[in-house]
């Protein structure tokens, strides 16, 4: 449900960019959704359509998915995030604040929590198209 | 293209009258103690208050408050639970009792996330408990919270005060309001730091004595409000 808060952020940002670029109508907004945050797409899409302003009347919202991958700063190992390996509570904590992954996930090779989130963290406004 | 979260922060904080970051160049000077007591004192004054623990790697306010078994309510965002009359937000809801080994960029990301999704109600004050130093949290608050005001804590040691000078000086240079300096855990009547503070053009808010009763009041908000620390902080709460 906190998907609404994120959808609101997307609309606010897309609105601002449309203004800056002088777009009268916004036709397409692409949002990349990182696997870690695991935003519920149905709710997110619904929230976007409910929150959109007038000049987004005909906007198509494209939601793309980005796999989450990590790179260990200690041993250099890279690996993929697997939500299925987490218990429900941990997955939910990461859903709210992906950074707490550093609390619960360790490098499978060396056990370090000091890894970089290469991609797939959260919600990202990828592109916006429209007519001037 | 763009991080959507940063554009919603203004809206999330729009209905908060004052936002006060309790900060210091040093750790262990009593930021968390002062921030928590200040927030509780403002509640006692009848204000609507939020407390936000931004010391992600060493959070303490939940222990001082004795906040246990509470969790934000998930609605169209996260609604902070009310603890002793204040809306209380901390990363511990998600990191639990475990360590959160976060680098700067992670701290920043977590901070932006929580600012973007936390739905505070109309507050008179949001008190923020800061991590020590002039790091990501200070810079991010200056960047994202245009109305931020700082309350700076030092101990009587010149070692602590030197770091406070740097923080105070930077804030002054950037035009960020500094409510003043609190000298905490005072063991003497010396006015040395008060004079040094005033010479910097900063307001000296209060000297808080070292109070051995504080330790036993940790986790017990009602008793905390009866300590000498709380008595002094209440006076600060009257002036802010
Ligand atoms: N005025 C005071 N009298 C006695 N103990 C204090 C006082 N202020 C803070 N303390 C204690 O000093 C320690 C450091 O305080 P804390 O608020 O955690 O500092 P910080 O947040 O700056 O790291 C804690 O154990 C706290 O209970
Ligand atoms: Mg602290
Ligand atoms: Zn490793």
Of A15, A93, A3, A12, the C-alpha closest to A41 is A3
Per-residue pLDDT reduced to its tens digit, B74-94: 999 999 999 999 999 999 999
Strand partners, A119: A69
Q: What confidence score (pLDDT) does residue A44 get?
A: 98
Per-residue pLDDT reduced to its tens digit, B211-223: 999 999 999 999 9
| A8 close to B (CB below 8 A) | yes
The answer on pLDDT for A87 being more than 90 is yes
| B89 close to A (CB below 8 A) | no
Mean pLDDT for the stretch of residues B231-237: 96
Q: Is the pTM of this model over 0.80?
A: yes
Predicted confidence band of residue B240 (pLDDT cuts 50, 70, 90): confident
**Residue whose CB lies within 8 A of the most ligand 1 atoms, among B30, B184, B231, B233, for a mutation test:** B30
Q: Are strands A69-72 and B49-53 parallel, antiparallel or unpaired?
A: unpaired
The number of CA neighbours under 13 Å toward the Cβ of B90 is 34
Query: Which residue has 């040691």 as its token pair?
Result: B157
**Min distance B212 CA to chain A CA atoms (Å):** 34
* In CATH, B4-237 is 3.40.50.300: yes
The structural domains of chain A, ordered by start, are: 2-66+120-131 (3.30.2320.50), 69-119 (no CATH)
Query: Which residue has 């309350």 as its token pair?
Result: B151
Q: What confidence score (pLDDT) does residue B189 get?
A: 96
- Contact indicator for B207, B186 with CB cutoff of 8 Å: yes
Per-residue pLDDT reduced to its tens digit, B162-215: 999 999 999 999 999 999 999 999 999 999 999 999 999 999 999 999 999 999
**Min distance A120 CA to chain B CA atoms (Å):** 13
Ion ligand 2: residues, CB < 5 A: B 31-32, 55, 60
The answer on pLDDT for A33 being more than 90 is yes
Mean of the per-residue pLDDT values of chain B: 97
Q: What confidence score (pLDDT) does residue A84 get?
A: 86
């Amino acid at each position: 449900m906190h998907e609404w808060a994120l959808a609101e952020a997307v609309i606010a940002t897309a609105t601002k960019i449309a203004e800056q670029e002088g777009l009268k109508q916004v036709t397409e907004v692409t949002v990349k959704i990182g696997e870690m945050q695991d935003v519920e797409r149905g709710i997110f899409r619904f929230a976007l359509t409910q929150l959109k302003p007038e000049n987004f009347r005909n906007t198509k919202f494209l939601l793309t998915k980005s796999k989450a991958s990590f790179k260990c700063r200690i041993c250099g190992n890279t690996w993929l995030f697997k939500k299925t390996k987490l218990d429900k509570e941990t997955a939910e904590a990461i859903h709210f604040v992906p950074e707490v992954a550093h609390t619960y996930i360790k490098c499978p090779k060396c056990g370090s929590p000091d890894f970089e989130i290469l991609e797939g963290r959260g919600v990202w406004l990828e592109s916006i198209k429209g007519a001037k | 293209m763009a991080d959507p979260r940063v554009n919603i922060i203004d809206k999330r904080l729009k209905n908060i009258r004052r936002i006060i970051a309790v900060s210091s160049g040093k750790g262990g000077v009593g930021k968390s103690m002062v921030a928590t007591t200040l927030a509780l004192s403002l509640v006692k004054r009848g204000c609507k208050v939020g407390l936000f623990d931004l010391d992600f790697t060493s959070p303490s306010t939940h222990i001082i408050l004795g906040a246990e078994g509470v969790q934000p309510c998930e609605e169209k965002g996260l609604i902070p639970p009310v603890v002793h009359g204040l809306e209380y937000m901390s990363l511990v809801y998600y990191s639990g009792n475990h360590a959160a080994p976060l680098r700067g960029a992670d701290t920043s990301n977590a901070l932006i996330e929580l600012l973007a999704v936390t739905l505070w109600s109309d507050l008179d004050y949001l008190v923020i408990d800061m991590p020590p130093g002039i790091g990501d949290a200070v810079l991010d608050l200056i960047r994202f919270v245009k109305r931020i005001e700082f309350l700076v804590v030092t101990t009587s040691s010149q070692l602590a005060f030197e770091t406070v000078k740097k923080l105070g000086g930077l804030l002054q240079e950037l035009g960020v309001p500094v409510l003043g300096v609190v000298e905490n855990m005072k063991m003497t009547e010396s006015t040395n730091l008060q004079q040094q503070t005033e010479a910097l053009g900063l307001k000296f808010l209060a000297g808080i004595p070292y109070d051995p009763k504080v330790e036993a009041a940790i986790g017990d908000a009602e008793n905390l409000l009866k300590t000498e620390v709380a008595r002094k902080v209440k006076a600060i709460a009257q002036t802010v």
